Amino acid sequence: MPKFTIDNREIEFQQGQTIIEAAIDNGIEIPHFCWHPELSVSGNCRICLVEVEKMPKLVIACSTIAAEGMIVHTQSQNAIEARNVVMEFILINHPLDCPICDEAGECKLQDYTYQYSIGESRFTENKVIKQKHFELGPRVIFDGERCISCSRCIRFCEEIAKDPELTFVQRGDRVTITTYPGQQMDNPYSMNTIDICPVGALTNKDFRFKARVWDMSSTDSVCTGCAKGCNINIWVRNNEILRLTPRYNQDVNSYWMCDHGRLNTFKFVNGEDRINSPHIRKEGQLEKVDWDESFNEAVTRIKSYPKDEIAFLGSAYTTCENNYVLALFAGSVVGSNHIDFISHLDPDFGDDILRKNDITPNKKGAELVGITPSKSGLNFEGMRKAIKEKKIKALLIMEDDIVSSVKDIENVLGNLELLVVLASNFNKTTELADLVFPTATFAEKNGTFVNADGIIQRIKPAVATVEADRALDGFEMSRLDKFGSEFDRWMTGAKMDAKPGWKILKSLSGLLGKKMKFNMAEEIFEDMAANIDAFKGLNYDDVGNSGVKLKTENIENAVTS
């Protein structure tokens, strides 16, 4: 590979790379505002000026192509002085409102002011006043005074969202961004402009003024909004989710996520309709009971039915681990072959960027771990018919509100003698249930999803439940990384007395006389890896934070076996 020298260090580069691309690939930081690895080069912020020997003047590293034998200086006196001048120029009209800016703690301008600015301004005139708190669209607020005209937001809308909605207007020090006449910035990916804005000019209307970055814990996870499985960070304060942001994964979502995933996939975790204890229907009403009473009631009633009269519905919304244990519970504990799950497709949701028509995070995973009927078992349509005919008298549903999604199913479920529902929130299906068990959400448990491309990815608990707090009693501190991020998150006072679905099924199994050996989600995954071709040889460490692409032949073998 060709080589060039930067700050007395010889590095390799790929033909056609710019200086900044080659530098970053080799762990060398060159300051930049307008450059972004997934956007076209605009070259208008000038903070990446560097000195190249034998060139008559400084060049911007973002657009200058690297060449064999080139000698680059990023810390020469000329480069440093130019950087200082650029920073002074950018800061001339910038407001001193860092204490009230949502970008504080994540702001490139703050960082570069500390690193590269001279620390004082010679500008004594009045600053230019621009628009503040202006709604560019339904989800993004614009503070024009903070904008440094890097054009990242404009280029994102044009190049990534494929919807050019923003442009520059005015000239000189009064230049600002705005939408085209008669338009709003309302494309399905508009909030990515907040992430890539290097200052606090674009802010999240939903999150605005709720917290600072240093007040929150951040946990790596996966978006549950569709089968793409975009990598995300869950941001939590006082055991409450305040925002989701995209996490870089070039094989899945690059730097982006859609606005639906960002806004509509976490609020139910904080919701007032959360189920906070088991419930049993008594005299026509669901009443709170303790765990022991609910387990005993469920076991007594399940035992009263022949195995062929009991059916099970898994879920494409829940983890591989939950579905795997459900398959074991149905087949090995109860002895029923009637098991299936419902696909949820929205033909209007998908696009050619990230979003998929399959609006569940784990359809492929549910298939892989055995949530499909055997030859002698009933699929969902078969169950529906058998329930109508009262041949199926008991049904257990794992984390799926089928009444809200399946037409005319409510009357069919009315024929059941026993409906057991595992759910995190009250919904139309729990309204019909005889027993309701509260389950942990995706943000409260460990587990895995398999996305539409066959990539298996991990979720980790970002919010603590009562169950998680109890699990910490006597737990080895050195193993906390198995459960998520910072330890102090676990000490904020859990609110929800909910359990992962597999733990509920494990308790029922023990009372039915067949103990399951699992104590952690990790142990379930190890069992999956030992028994399912698609997961052979994998463990949680292998899956890591970026996921693993499952081999196609292993997926096909697992689904058809």
Q: Same structural domain for residues 258 and 297?
A: no
Q: What is the structure's pLDDT at 414?
A: 95
- Asked if 258 and 286 sit in the same domain, the reply is no
The CATH number for 326's domain is 3.40.50.740
> 119 in a domain, yes or no?
no
Asked whether residue 76 is domain-assigned, the answer is: yes
Per-residue CA distances from 471 to 465, 477, 540 (Å)? 10, 12, 19
Quick check: 537 pLDDT over 60? yes
Helix (H, G, I), strand (E, B) or coil at 103: coil
pLDDT mean over 482-490: 45
Whether 557 shows a pLDDT value over 70: the answer reads no
Confidence of residue 119 (pLDDT cuts 50, 70, 90): confident
Task: Give the end of a domain, one of 214, 233, 263.
Answer: 263
The whole-number pLDDT of residue 494 equals 61
C-beta separation of 33 from 150 below 8 A: yes
Q: Which of 291-305, 366-380, 471-485 has the lowest mean pLDDT?
A: 471-485
Name beta bridge partners: 421. Answer: 397, 436
* 207-221 per-position pLDDT tens digit: 999 999 999 999 999
CA atoms within 13 A on the CB side of 494: 21
Of 94-108, 474-488, 520-534, the range with the highest mean pLDDT is 520-534
Rounded to the nearest 5°, which phi and psi values hold at 231?
-75, 135
User: Residue 21 to residues 55, 98, 103: CA-CA distances in angstroms?
Assistant: 20, 30, 25
Is 269 within the bounds of a domain?
A: no
Residues 364 and 426 in one domain: yes
Same domain, 379 and 474: yes
Q: Are the C-beta atoms of residues 315 and 398 closer than 8 Å to each other?
A: yes
Angle of CA points 328, 464, 443, to nearest 5°: 60
Instruction: Kindly compute the dihedral angle of the four CA atoms of residues 54, 56, 57, 59, in this order, to the nearest 10 degrees.
Output: -50
Identify the pLDDT of residue 553.
67
How confident is the model over 242-261, as a mean pLDDT? 98
Residue-level pLDDT at 556: 64
Confidence at 484, pLDDT banded by 50, 70, 90 = very low
Q: Tell me, yes or no, whether 190 lies in a domain.
A: yes
CA distances from 432 to 280, 284, 353 (A): 11, 10, 39
CB 235 within 8 A of CB 242: yes
- Domain final residue pick, 263, 287, 304: 263
- Contact by Cβ (8 Å): 249, 379: no
553's tokens: 């032949």
Strands 548-549 and 3-6: unpaired
Strand partners, 366: none
54, pLDDT greater than 50: yes
Nearest Cα to Cα of residue 269 among 313, 325, 221, 316? 221
Percent of the chain with pLDDT over 70: 93
Which of 343, 339, 342 is CA-nearest to residue 312?
A: 339
On whether both 139 and 73 belong to a single domain, the answer is: no
**Per the domain annotation, does 271 fall within a domain?**
no
Query: Domain for residue 99, yes or no?
Result: no
The string of pLDDT tens digits covering residues 428-464 is: 999 999 999 999 999 999 999 999 999 999 999 999 9
Question: Helix, strand, or coil here: 348?
Answer: coil
pLDDT for 478 beyond 50: no
Q: Are residues 387 and 517 in the same domain?
A: yes
Residues 449 and 339 in one domain: yes
82 and 20 in a common domain:
yes
**Per-residue pLDDT tens over the stretch 14-37:** 999 999 999 999 999 999 999 999
CB of 6 within 8 A of CB of 23? yes
pLDDT 10s digits, 297-330? 999 999 999 999 999 999 999 999 999 999 999 9
How far apart (Å, rounded) are the C-alpha atoms in residues 161 and 158?
Answer: 6
| Average pLDDT score, the chain | 93
* Greatest Cα-to-Cα distance within the chain, rounded to the nearest angstrom: 89
Q: Which helix (H) or strand (E) holds 521?
A: helix 521-531
Write out the residue range of the structural domain in which residue 39 sits: 3-91
Q: Specify if 217 maps to a domain.
A: yes
Considering the domain architecture, whether residues 506 and 404 belong to the same structural domain is answered as yes
421 and 324 in a common domain: yes
Read off the pLDDT of each residue in 466-476 and give the average, rounded to a whole number.
Answer: 53
Compute the distance between CA of residue 507 and CA of residue 550 in angstroms, rounded to an integer. 31
| Lowest mean pLDDT, pick from 117-121, 146-150, 305-309 | 117-121
Using alpha carbons only, give the angle 178, 183, 185 rounded to the nearest 5 degrees. 65
- Strand-pair category, 339-340 with 217-222: unpaired
The residues, any chain, with a CB within 8 Å of residue 389's CB and separated by 6 or more, are none
Per-residue confidence band for 495, with pLDDT thresholds at 50, 70 and 90: confident
Of all residues in the chain, what percent carry a pLDDT higher than 90?
87
Q: Which residues lie across from 439 on neighbouring strands?
A: 499
The amino acid sitting at 372 is: T
Give the residue among 470, 478, 476, 471 at the shortest CA–CA distance from 521. 471
Of residues 396, 228, 236, the one with CA closest to residue 315: 396
Position 445 in a domain: yes
Q: What mean pLDDT do residues 190-201 have?
A: 97
